[in-house]
Structure 1
Amino acid sequence: MIDQEIIESRFDIIEENMKYLQKVQKVEYFSFAENFEKIQAVKHSLQECIEACIDVANHLISALILQRADTYTEMFLILSQNEIISHELAKKLAEMAKFRNLLVHRYADIDTKRLYNILQRELTDIQAFMREISRYLDNKT
């Protein structure tokens, strides 16, 4: 059974972090690149957003008794295969899950330009995830 409180609490985390990320989107690249605190805060906020999306995906997979995912990236693809989110969005979120692994495990230094590009271009994917999940849940009830 889907626990709406779990979904809503993760959406709250996303929305809280999005407010900060959207403020920083307005900062010019060179100003951003020279500000260590801003870079670190963006990394953390992105990580929290991505992890909240992963939590939602994991909860839905478990509650709906879908195919088991071996990786975070697979979770979004499973949601797509079950027509919960679009395939295009699933591919984008799978890439975000890979980026989250870089943030958490520091496999490589995160390029500031790449981080800034994600900030400028990919926040809409997280918002789209929330919309598509909400639409799915609305149609289920």
Structure 2
Amino acid sequence: MALDRDQINQKLAQLEDYLKQLAQLKSEPKSSFTESSLVELAAERGIYKACQQTIDIAQSLNAELGFGPPRFYRDLFTQLGKKGVISKKLQLKLEKMAGLRNKLAHEYAKVNPEEIY
């Protein structure tokens, strides 16, 4: 399967938009996150969508590079890191991000507003 560069570029543009929106939320006082469930919900959704775009891009790269299907989303980044596609530092951050995405998606545990902020 050939890497669809247009699709990757669209995902990167969308990711950039999500990050800009999250930066706007980040400019809110910390109390907004701890006192307003609406702000917290907006932040959680924005983070989830940004995480998912990143995962989608990693899945495309992994498939193109022939790394095989991962068992868990975090394994996408482990594979990219081990093959030198991304730095170890970025790999660890993205693995942690995948864990947060799962926590938000499946509500394994209540996400602390402080963690979102």
TM class by shorter-chain length? over 0.9
Contact 2:78-2:91 at 8 Å conserved across structures: yes
Is 1:7 the counterpart of 2:5 in the alignment? no
Distance in 1 (alpha carbons) for counterparts of 2:76 and 2:9: 19
The answer (yes or no) to whether the contact 1:2–1:64 under 8 Å persists in 2 is no
Output the CA distance in 2 between the equivalents of 1:55 and 1:31.
Answer: 30
Q: Please, which runs of 5 or more residues in structure 1 have no aligned partner? A: 117-141
CA apart distance, 1:34: 1.3
Partner Cα separation in structure 2 for residue 111 and residue 31 of structure 1: 13
Aligned to 2:40: 39
Deviations 1:75-124 (A, max 9, x none): 001011111110111111101101100100001111111111xxxxxxxx
Q: TM-score by structure 2 length?
A: 0.93
1:104 aligns with: 105
Q: CA deviation at 1:68?
A: 3.0
CA contact (8 A) 1:13 1:48 kept: no
- CA deviation after TM superposition for structure 1 residue 63, in Å: 1.1
Q: Say whether the 8 Å CA contact 2:40–2:113 is kept in structure 1.
A: yes
Per-residue deviation at 1:3?
A: 1.2
Unaligned runs of 5+ in 2: none
Identity across the alignment (%): 27
Q: Deviations over 1:1-24 (max 9, x none)?
A: 221012112112211111211111
- The residue aligned with 2:85 is 84
